[in-house]
């Protein structure tokens, strides 16, 4: 009895923490803040392993693949046409519908990476191996999204676009479109830039501005994309050749600068191993001396960038110490799940204080810094990393102008006499804030 009572006390003590951490078994969301958000219907397609439910009220019965094709040739002919053009259909023993969806119409499922892994275990294992490298990686992309406070706090309509790309972790058709699943299609840059585009990751813009990208734009339509991603098969490398050589689905093993948002020690043992992998890859097409020159230029660009970013951080931390960030952290609505921010409101400045998780709930000058750090910085990094040196220089010119503007605003804030008025009600109340608080 004493042992049972002991376990009961422990359970009562840890249960509130489990609920706070998003582990409440009744929670409908997923991730660290699972009990703070509810999924929209589209989550069934973004995370099918978690949210897909068969449509039990429609068709009943257990069917063969041939029966599926006969029916869907009329109902969804486009899907059947895509499947007939796939390697699944042309195999010696065709991979029919039940292999991916099941044969019981009342228990049908949408495929997950694990479903694909039953026939492609090596590719699944390669993708899963990314997790040991941490973020960023395809395998952890969904976790990265749902574990962000702004994802759980904001209305789902405002963060829905995030999962269109972050769902690469929970389904394979982000790269291999249904139902053709054509490797030739997935090898083309367009398969990657569907997600790798826009201000946070301008891979498309910087790649197409490089010599490699220009070569692809000029001749890519004539290439035979059925060839494997091996040496000699393509005139110039594209995204998949460099990041997925020989079809390797582990794309995080050469990330020397962690996406460009984190300062990395180039001399660490891990980084030296990653750089060696890049040098070996570059040597497929370039003389051996080209790779080291590339890294010297990239490292110099990163060193210059971080000097600029840390300079802005020092400005903002100085303003924080003087109480000149308006609105202050105590005048902003805290994230509902952020108990620490409620007890100790504090502006988060820079990567190591968690600026990345707070860019929706900041003062104007903090947001300006975030734009420099997360958008312009990444353009400068991606330009140099993809061999588009001139574009990297343009992003640095933009960064210099932004840094100067932030410095001017910081000086103004220092010289401005605080009004002494109560701004808290202005920022803590209002139609949007109240709706968001109660309807996420």
Angle between helices 389-415 and 364-371 (to 10 degrees): 170
Query: What is the largest distance, in Å, between two alpha-carbon atoms of the chain?
Result: 79
Residue 353: phi and psi, rounded to 5, are -100, -5
Which pTM was predicted? 0.86
- pLDDT for the residue numbered 20: 37
Residue 257: phi and psi, rounded to 5, are -120, 20
| Residue carrying structure tokens 């309509």 | 157
| d(C-alpha 331, C-alpha 59), whole Å | 55
- pLDDT for the residue numbered 432: 67
| d(C-alpha 21, C-alpha 31), whole Å | 9
- pLDDT for the residue numbered 9: 42
SS (HEC) of 257-284: CHHHCCCCCCCCHHHHHHHHHHHHHHCC
| Residue carrying structure tokens 């069917």 | 63
- pLDDT for the residue numbered 361: 80
Question: What is the mean pLDDT, run by run of 10 residues, along the chain of 440 residues?
Answer: 44 40 52 86 91 83 95 95 95 95 93 95 95 90 90 80 92 92 94 91 95 96 94 94 94 88 88 93 94 94 95 95 89 81 88 74 91 94 96 97 97 79 67 68
- pLDDT for the residue numbered 7: 40
Structure tokens at 121: 């275990």
- pLDDT for the residue numbered 80: 97
For the chain, the residue count is 440
- Residue ranges covered by each domain of the chain: 53-108, 182-249, 293-439
Q: Sort 49 into a burial class: Cβ within 10 Å, 0-12 / 13-18 / 19+.
A: middle
- pLDDT for the residue numbered 357: 58
| Residue 369 near residue 316, CB atoms below 8 Å | yes
Decide: helix, strand or coil at residue 198: coil
| d(C-alpha 426, C-alpha 410), whole Å | 22
From first CA to last CA, the distance across the chain in angstroms is 44
The conformation of residue 126, written as its DSSP 8-state character, comes to H
């Amino acid at each position: 009895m004493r042992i049972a009572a002991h376990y009961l006390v422990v359970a009562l003590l840890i249960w509130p923490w489990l609920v706070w951490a998003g582990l409440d078994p009744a929670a409908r969301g997923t991730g660290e803040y699972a009990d703070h958000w509810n999924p929209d219907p589209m989550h069934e397609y973004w995370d099918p392993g978690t949210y897909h439910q068969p449509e039990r009220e429609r068709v009943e019965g257990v069917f063969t693949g041939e029966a599926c094709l006969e029916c869907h040739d009329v109902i969804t002919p486009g899907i059947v046409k895509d499947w007939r053009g796939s390697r699944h259909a042309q195999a010696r023993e065709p991979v029919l519908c039940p292999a991916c969806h099941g044969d019981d119409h009342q228990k049908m499922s949408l495929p997950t990476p694990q479903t694909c892994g039953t026939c492609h275990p090596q590719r699944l294992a390669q993708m899963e191996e990314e997790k040991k490298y941490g973020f960023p990686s395809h395998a952890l992309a969904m976790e990265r999204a749902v574990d962000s406070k702004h994802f759980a706090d904001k209305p789902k309509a405002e963060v829905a676009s995030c999962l269109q790309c972050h769902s690469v972790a929970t389904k394979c058709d982000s790269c291999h479109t249904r139902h053709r699943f054509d490797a030739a299609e997935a090898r083309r840059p367009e398969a990657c830039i569907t997600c790798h585009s826009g201000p946070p990751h301008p891979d498309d813009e910087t790649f197409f501005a490089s010599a490699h990208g220009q070569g692809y734009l000029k001749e890519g339509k004539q290439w035979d994309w059925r060839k494997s991603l091996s040496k000699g098969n393509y005139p110039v490398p594209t995204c998949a050749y460099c990041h997925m050589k020989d079809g390797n689905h582990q794309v995080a093993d050469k990330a020397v600068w962690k996406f460009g948002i984190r300062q990395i020690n180039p001399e660490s043992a891990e980084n030296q191993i990653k750089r060696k992998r890049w040098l070996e890859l570059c040597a497929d097409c370039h003389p051996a001396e080209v790779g080291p020159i590339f890294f010297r230029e990239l490292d110099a660009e990163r060193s210059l960038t971080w000097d600029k970013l840390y300079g802005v951080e020092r400005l903002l931390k100085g303003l924080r110490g003087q109480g000149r960030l308006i609105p202050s952290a105590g005048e902003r609505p805290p994230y509902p799940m952020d108990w620490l921010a409620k007890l100790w409101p504090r502006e988060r400045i820079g990567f190591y204080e968690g600026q990345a998780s707070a860019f929706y709930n900041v003062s104007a000058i903090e947001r300006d810094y975030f734009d420099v750090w997360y958008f312009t910085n990444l353009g400068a990094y991606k330009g140099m990393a993809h061999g588009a040196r001139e574009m990297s220089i343009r992003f640095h010119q933009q960064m210099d102008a932004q840094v100067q503007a932030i410095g001017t605003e910081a000086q103004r804030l220092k010289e401005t006499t605080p009004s002494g008025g109560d701004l808290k009600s202005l920022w803590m109340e209002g139609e949007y804030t109240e709706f968001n608080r109660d309807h996420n």
